[in-house]
């Protein structure tokens, strides 16, 4: 941590800051420039964090040097984390495609969708049973019934199930049915929910909040890891900017950025990331080329009848064409698409 004193700070003021730091057991280096006095403080990072020196009127600013996260950092875990779930590996050479409708609407809809996305090469089935809706008047999900239909689809297709949990009280229930628990973008900083999924024993797909910085996102993952669950994957789904042609601005640079700073896998959601079905296919290819470890894509048998997000959902035919293109692309990137190995009844 570097403390920059205001121009004109007196010797006494500098000494008071120094005393506060040494009282906390920190070692300090004083550096007297022509215009500014700086102080470097070295020691336990938690102790440093708890000092709020910028509250002092003669301190101009405090510059943190160490990142606030630890467990998610590649510095502490240089090798890539591979998440193993239901016979699949996420984070290695294989790229996984997670596909399905925004919301589980009926047994027929989810079984039909599961069959067609598996046919095209998906390895995970996505679908919302609990829906966080911005309007109280919108469809709120089939809840446990929806989870049962997804579990049935897993039985029939071998696809693994990824689904969102929105209430800390439901984590156990969702974990009973799902293979991967999703934390939605609006809940990225719902710390109560993060602490609960930390205890659930299932891998977590952590979506980025629509205005979360990279550091805040990593800190949210740190919450889950600090709670004992090391199977976390990041999911970029677009951030909120002034651009309104797209629903969000899909920030693909997070793929290489996270691969640099962290050891955890990175999944891309081009459906929410763009909000328009005709942009999903090209952005899925771009995500793969950027190095994503997986994609999560909305597919609906009849998008125009979907209860939500129809305008960003692919039809089964468009999904199949996208998968064909991704299949051509993967070898040129030294990656391969996943497949469902398990034989299905």
Region 124-183 residues binding its own copies, contact defined as CB under 8 A = 132-139, 166-169
- The residue within the footprint of its own copies, chosen from 21, 160, 232, 307 (CB under 8 A), is 307
Residues 62-81 touching its own copies, rule: CB under 8 A, are: 63, 65-66, 68, 75
Angle in degrees, 0-180, between the axes of helices 316-332 and 107-120, rounded to the nearest 10: 30
Residues 313-342 touching its own copies, rule: CB under 8 A, are: 313, 328-329, 331-333
Q: Which pair of structure tokens corresponds to residue 305?
A: 């009848």
Choose between 173 and 257: whose C-beta lies nearer to its own copies: 257
- Residue 2 contacts residue 39 (beta carbons within 8 Å): yes
Q: Which pair of structure tokens corresponds to residue 198?
A: 């930390």
- Distance CA(259)–CA(210), nearest Å, equals 20
Q: Which pair of structure tokens corresponds to residue 93?
A: 């050479």
Strands (E), 154-231: 160-164, 180-183, 204-207
Stretch that binds its own copies, among 90-98, 109-117, 146-154, 186-194 (CB under 8 A): 186-194
Residues 246-285 touching its own copies, rule: CB under 8 A, are: 246, 249-253, 255-257, 260, 273-274, 277-279, 281-283, 285
Using only C-alpha atoms, the chain has a radius of gyration, in whole angstroms, of: 23
Choose between 158 and 222: whose C-beta lies nearer to its own copies: 222
Residues 78-117 touching its own copies, rule: CB under 8 A, are: none
- Distance CA(212)–CA(237), nearest Å, equals 11
- Residue 271 contacts residue 280 (beta carbons within 8 Å): yes
- The single residue listed with the structure tokens 């051509």 is 328
Choose between 7 and 341: whose C-beta lies nearer to its own copies: 7
Residues 24-53 touching its own copies, rule: CB under 8 A, are: 29, 31, 33-36, 38, 40, 42-43, 46, 49-50, 52-53
Is residue 244 a contact point for its own copies (CB under 8 A)? yes
């Amino acid at each position: 941590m570097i403390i920059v004193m205001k121009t004109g700070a007196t010797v006494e003021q500098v000494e008071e800051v120094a005393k506060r730091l040494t009282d906390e057991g920190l070692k300090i280096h004083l550096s007297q420039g022509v215009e500014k006095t700086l102080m470097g403080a070295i020691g336990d990072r938690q102790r440093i964090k708890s000092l709020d020196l910028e509250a002092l009127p003669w301190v101009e600013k405090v510059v943190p040097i160490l990142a606030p996260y630890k467990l998610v950092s590649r510095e502490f875990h240089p090798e890539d984390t591979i998440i193993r779930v239901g016979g699949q590996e996420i984070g290695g050479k294989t790229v996984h495609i997670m596909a399905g409708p925004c919301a589980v609407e009926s047994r027929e809809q989810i079984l039909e969708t599961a069959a067609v996305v598996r046919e095209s090469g998906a390895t995970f089935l996505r679908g919302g049973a609990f829906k966080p809706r911005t309007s109280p008047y919108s469809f709120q999900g089939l809840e446990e019934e929806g989870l049962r239909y997804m579990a049935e689809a897993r039985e029939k297709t071998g696809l693994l199930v990824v689904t969102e949990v929105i209430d800390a009280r439901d984590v156990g229930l969702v974990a009973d049915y799902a293979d991967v628990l999703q934390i939605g973008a609006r809940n990225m900083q719902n710390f109560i929910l993060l602490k609960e999924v930390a205890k659930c024993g299932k891998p977590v797909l952590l979506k980025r909040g629509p205005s979360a910085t990279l550091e805040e996102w990593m800190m949210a993952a740190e919450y889950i890891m600090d709670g004992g669950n090391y199977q976390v994957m990041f999911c970029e789904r677009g951030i909120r900017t002034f651009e309104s042609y797209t629903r969000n601005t899909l920030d693909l640079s997070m793929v290489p950025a996270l691969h640099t700073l962290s050891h955890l896998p990175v999944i891309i959601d081009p459906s929410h990331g763009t909000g328009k079905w005709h942009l999903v296919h090209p952005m899925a290819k771009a995500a793969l080329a950027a190095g994503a470890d997986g994609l999560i894509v909305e597919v609906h048998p009849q998008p125009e009848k979907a209860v939500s997000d129809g305008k960003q959902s692919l039809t089964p035919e468009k999904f199949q064409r996208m998968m064909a293109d991704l299949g051509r692309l993967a070898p040129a990137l030294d990656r391969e698409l996943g497949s469902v190995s398990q034989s299905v009844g």
